[in-house]
Amino acid sequence: MKKIIAALLTLIMATALFAGCGQDNGDVDLPVNVGDTTPKPQESTDPGQSQTAGAALTRAPLGGTGMIAAGSIHNIGLRTNGTIVSGGHDQYGQRRTSNWTDIVFVAANKSATIGVKADGSALFAGEMTGSEAVSGWSNVYMAAMGGDFAVALLNDGTVTGTSGAPDVSAWSDMVWVAAGESFAIGLKSDGTVAATTGAPDVSAWTNMVKIAAGADRAAGITAEGKLVASISTAAFDANSDYVAVDVGAAGLVAVRADGSVVAAMEVEADNDPLVYADSKDIAAVKNAVSVAVGDTHAVVMDRTGYAYAYGKNTDLQCDVGTFNLRPYVENVNGANYIRGIEIGSTVEQAKKLIALFTGADSVAITKADGSEAADTDTVATGMKAGDVGEIVIMGDGNGDGAVTEEDSALIDAILTKQSDLSGAKLRALQLSLSYGLPAPECRAADKNTIAAYIAGTGSIDQFGDKVRGTYTDKFKSAYEANNDTVGYIEVLGTNVSYPIMFDMTGKWYYNDHTPAKEKAESGSVYAYYYGQQHNDVITGHNSRPSGSMFHQLHHIEDFNMGKSNCEEKKYCGKELSNLPDLKVYSERVWDVYLYGEEARYEIFAMFETKAPADVEKSLMEYVWYPYGNTNHDKDTDEKVQAWIDECIKQTKELSGLELNTNVNVKDDFLTVFTCATQHSDAGKGARLYFMLKKVDY
């Protein structure tokens, strides 16, 4: 346990950002999966210049366009390996994209997401009129989404749309499309722009190479790099060499060739002290390559594949802190490891990826023995990319570039101390560090991951999750003081800020002992079960006299039930203000670090049971208690759904709240509970419950 947590500490404190020098992006168009050969790239990266009328469209590889998309309340990020990360509010299920693969382009609107696959088909998530048409699309090059519709540019230059879309059936020889609230515009191969009814007047636009649209406006870039728009461009240098642009209700944002950003935003930054993610100054971003503008915010991606957002944040639409869209450098104990290169990639492909995020003109890759690797060689763990770092292919522990039973056997050898594997090769076999399990269980999980990959039933994540590091210092301090520490929890607007403990003996030691192992009635905040579960459970006492531990969770309860003071009058009675409003999405999201993973969770239910409460029918049922004569574990989808329905029902009946959260049986859950407001009720089994679902998909 101590070794695995120590390793976790190293990783959560790791510096993943490589600050390369050089500013020439040189390639600001579409990404392709590493190793994908369809479609073939061309020399030019300007859609208006690289296409020939009537010819099949081709996409330039590994660029920035189509890698980020901004809806009204969510963001989508596309990694260079064709997988998706997302942020913001999943109110309509539009962020249920974590299982998408082979994606080469993403688009978003108010309530939905579309991903174009390398084979020309498309995937859909969320809600939108006529969305059923998307699954039937084929030969798709890219897509654009309007208010409640989508249009798709096909590889032959024609355009199709969903029901409700403006009429684009006669369009041909198109090389790009964009959509506003109720209109679409299309960039033709000759540099002119077509428009549907309701679009801004773009009839005079010529020699265009890029176009964008959103809300009631349109924008574009000419072949000379000049910016044009249907709204004011007074904030933009008329002589600048612009390479990327987007526009929406939130404003107009463009990127210059030197990677600097110019923004004319029409929304104010929304930095709420009760919200975990802040709005950023996107005009300060360096080495930018791409921009996406939505109704309420804008997102900029830089050369390293990281993203920054500015604007309204009531739906956490500025939460892009986990976006690592390009390969990156992970620093572990002073060693730099290059992550994010897929199994089976060639050295040539790896060179392009590394040059992309470092900004280098060229990259030399050498084998572990110091000899130069040929471009056609398969990339393997232990190869070095100049002074950037050593390449790590997760799962490839023996450094042959593949993941086989030999790598699985190495895990056993490490566990039995028959191997002293270290450095990049050891890191390549540490697939499950984020589980926070003891070494034997962690290694078993590693072996299961490799076995699933070999069998073709699973994949190995080469990127890993980008760590926010919210609780790095606090967890480190708590763990060093007591290695029974398994997590950390803070609730903004309250004094709840505690390490999460777990007693491995199963005797509930921390129910009446502090993290310092001192006997105390207030005890500690502690986890009910060990290791990540479908429903993790955390509890702490309602320490009324001191107002500590989980007492102030009652302040959130009372505040959201319209009370002006804490209902516990004997010891508290505090006036309630500046507390999370659970009707606001961003204020009902908590950030919790548990068993090696920091994740965001959304409250979907909150209620206090009335006394007397049957422990068997309430507490054990709500926490999925799996022990004793009756098993309350939820081992079927039907049982989980019944639990969800009951929690939502209790929230409405006991708290008078309807949170309208998008929650389903496949979500991961967190239950946090404490004793009732009154001590007498707590003695009769009454408890305050917060039920949350993980929103880091």
- Write the pLDDT tens digit of every residue in 548-588: 999 999 999 999 999 999 999 999 999 999 999 999 999 99
Query: For the residues 628-650, what does the mean pLDDT come to?
Result: 93
Quick one: 506 exposed, middle or buried, by C-beta within 10 A (0-12, 13-18, 19+)? exposed
Residue 124's φ and ψ, nearest 5 degrees, are -135, 140
State the pLDDT at residue 63.
61
**Amino acid type, 594:** L
Residues of the chain with CATH 2.40.260.10: 472-694
Rounded to the nearest 5 percent, the helix, strand and coil shares of the chain are 20, 25, 55
Protein fold of 47-311: Methylamine Dehydrogenase; Chain H (2.130.10)
Q: Which of 60-64, 244-248, 272-276, 293-297 has the lowest mean pLDDT?
A: 60-64
Q: Which one, of 687, 642, 697, 641, lies nearest residue 538 by Cα? A: 687
Q: What is the pLDDT of residue 697?
A: 84
Q: Which segment of 203-212, 297-306, 442-451 scores lowest on mean pLDDT?
A: 442-451
Give the closest residue to 385 by CA, choosing from 361, 403, 367, 407.
367
**Residue 7 pLDDT:** 42
Predicted confidence at residue 59, as pLDDT, reads 62
Which among 381, 226, 315, 397 has a CA at the least distance from the CA of 586?
A: 315
Residue 527 backbone dihedrals phi, psi, to 5 degrees: -90, 145
Q: Examine the pLDDT at 436 and tell me if it is beyond 80.
A: no
The CATH code belonging to domain 472-694 is 2.40.260.10
pLDDT higher than threshold 70 for residue 49: no
547: left (phi over 0), alpha (psi -120 to 50) or beta: left
Interval 448-455 mean pLDDT = 95
Locus of tokens 């935003």: 265
Q: What is the DSSP letter of 428?
A: H
Average pLDDT, the chain: 89
* Whether 551 contacts 558, CB under 8 Å: no
Average pLDDT estimate for 269-287: 91
Distance CA 432, CA 451 (A): 14
pLDDT tens-digit series, residues 337-349: 999 999 999 999 9
Every domain range in the chain assigned CATH 2.130.10.30: 47-311
Query: What's the pLDDT at 441?
Result: 63
Higher pLDDT, 363 or 443: 363
Beta strands across the sheet bearing 208-214: 208-214, 217-222, 227-229
Counting beta carbons within 10 angstroms of the beta carbon of residue 335, is it exposed (0 to 12), middle (13 to 18) or buried (19 or more)?
middle
Half-sphere exposure of 229 (CA within 13 A, CB side): 27
Of 277-281, 304-308, 423-427, the range with the lowest mean pLDDT is 277-281
The two structure tokens encoding residue 635: 């081992």
Task: Give me the percent of the chain exceeding a pLDDT of 70.
Answer: 90
Backbone φ and ψ for 213, nearest 5 degrees, come out as: -155, 155
Backbone angles phi, psi at 447, to 5 degrees: -65, -40
Residue 29 in this model has a pLDDT that exceeds 50: no
Q: Is the pTM of this model over 0.85?
A: yes
